[in-house]
Amino acid sequence: MPRRTKIVATIGPASQSPAVVRELLEAGMDVARLGLAHGPIEDSIERIRSLREISRDLGRPVGILVDLPGPKVRTAPFGDEGTRLEVGSVLRLAEAAPGDRSSAYHVAVELAGAVDQLMPGDRVALGDGGVSLAVEERVADGVMARVLSGGVVRGRPGVALPADRVALRSPTDADLEMLDQITGCGVDAVAVSFVQSADDVAAVRLAVGGHGPMVIAKIETAQAVDDLEDIVHVSDGVMVARGDLGVRLPLEDVPHIQKRIIRTGVAYGKPVITATQMLESMITAPTPTRAEVTDVANAVFDGTSAVMLSAETAIGVNPVAAVEAMSRITRRAEQEFDYEEWGARMGREQIVGLQHAPMTVRITSAITAASTA
Per the residue annotation, which of 47, 72, 74, 156 is the catalytic one? 74
Contacts of 363 (CB under 8 A, 6+ apart): none
d(CA 193, CA 310): 15
Residue 146 annotated among the catalytic residues of the structure: no
DSSP conformation letters of 265-306: HHHHT--EEEESSTTGGGGTSSS--HHHHHHHHHHHHHT-SE
Q: At what angle do helices 290-302 and 319-335 cross, to 10 degrees?
A: 50
* Residue partners of 329: CB distance under 8 A and separation at least 6: 288, 293, 296, 297, 300
Pairing of strands 123-126, 131-139: antiparallel
Residue of 5, 6, 10, 33 marked catalytic = 33
Query: Which residue among 5, 264, 276, 330 is the active-site one?
Result: 276
**In this structure, how many other beta carbons lie within 10 angstroms of the beta carbon of residue 324?**
17
The yes-or-no answer on residue 248 being catalytic is: no
List Cα–Cα distances, 322 to 11, 280, 286, in angstroms.
13, 9, 8
186 Rama class: left (phi>0) / alpha (psi -120 to 50) / beta: left
For residues 249 and 222, is the Cβ–Cβ distance under 8 A? yes
Cα–Cα distance, 346 to 327 (Å, whole number): 26
Q: Which of 156, 205, 218, 270 is catalytic?
A: 218
Q: Is 74 a catalytic residue?
A: yes
Would you please indicate which residues are annotated as catalytic (active-site) residues? 33, 74, 218, 276
